[in-house]
Homo-oligomer: A and B are copies of this chain.
């Protein structure tokens, strides 16, 4: 996949780049086979390095997963739309669209599934903390949009958990060689979610208590 040695800059920069390639390839493997189903040999082979060399860049297999999660949560946070000139509903739409796009982009760090026993206690805490920051950012937008009557009155926590399912799940079925371009997917998923949330539409199946 991503080739090694084809960089020519100096020292630290090069090292950072290499580490980055490592994280992206590792994330891809973790996504496909899960943490326990991925061997370091596999990852090393993908980037044309010996397994032992990985330990020059990373302390642990665990640590490698942790770094992926960290990079992924940074990426996620950066898709949160903060343009206050837009309505909250509009911001939600853009956020979801961008988030889907970044998750599907080649070389994403996103791992999605967190198998228990794959991280240390403190690492797990940090990962969850970061994930919650992302959730909270979205939650805030949703709450604001409810206030603004763009989104129907509902339990915003439940709403976020539910629609992020549709969003996260995309990484499970997306095929780069499939019929649908990433942009079409991201806009369509975001629009679907927003329609499901929106205020005012006739409710075909009324009586649901949470959303």
Q: How far is the CB of A129 from chain B (nearest CB, A)?
A: 16
Contact B201 A205 (CB under 8 A): no
Tell me the residues in window 150-164 of chain A with beta carbons closer than 8 Å to chain B beta carbons. Answer: 150, 158-159, 161-164
* B residues less than 8 Å from A180 (CB atoms): 158, 210
Please tell me if A83 contacts chain B, counting CB pairs below 8 Å: no
Bitwise, A146-183 to B at CB < 8 A (1) or not (0) is 00001000000011011111111110110000001000
Contact A195 B196 (CB under 8 A): yes
Q: How far is the CB of A121 from chain B (nearest CB, A)?
A: 16
Contact A172 B162 (CB under 8 A): no
For the residues of A in contact with B, the DSSP-based class is: helix
Please tell me if A10 contacts chain B, counting CB pairs below 8 Å: no
* B residues less than 8 Å from A200 (CB atoms): 201-202
Chain A interface size range: 35 or more
Please tell me if A123 contacts chain B, counting CB pairs below 8 Å: no
Complex alpha-carbon distance, A34 and B210, angstroms = 30
Q: How far is the CB of A16 from chain B (nearest CB, A)?
A: 21
Contact A211 B196 (CB under 8 A): no
Please tell me if A192 contacts chain B, counting CB pairs below 8 Å: yes
* B residues less than 8 Å from A33 (CB atoms): 36, 115-117
Bitwise, A189-211 to B at CB < 8 A (1) or not (0) is 11111111110111111111111
In the complex, given contacts A35-B37, A113-B172, what are 20 additional A-B residue pairs having Cβ atoms less than 8 angstroms apart? A33-B115, A34-B36, A37-B115, A113-B113, A150-B204, A158-B185, A161-B169, A165-B168, A166-B166, A184-B209, A188-B210, A188-B211, A189-B211, A190-B205, A190-B208, A191-B208, A194-B204, A195-B204, A200-B201, A201-B201
Binding site for B on A (CB under 8 A): 32-37, 89, 93, 113, 115-118, 150, 158-159, 161-170, 172-173, 180, 184-185, 187-198, 200-211
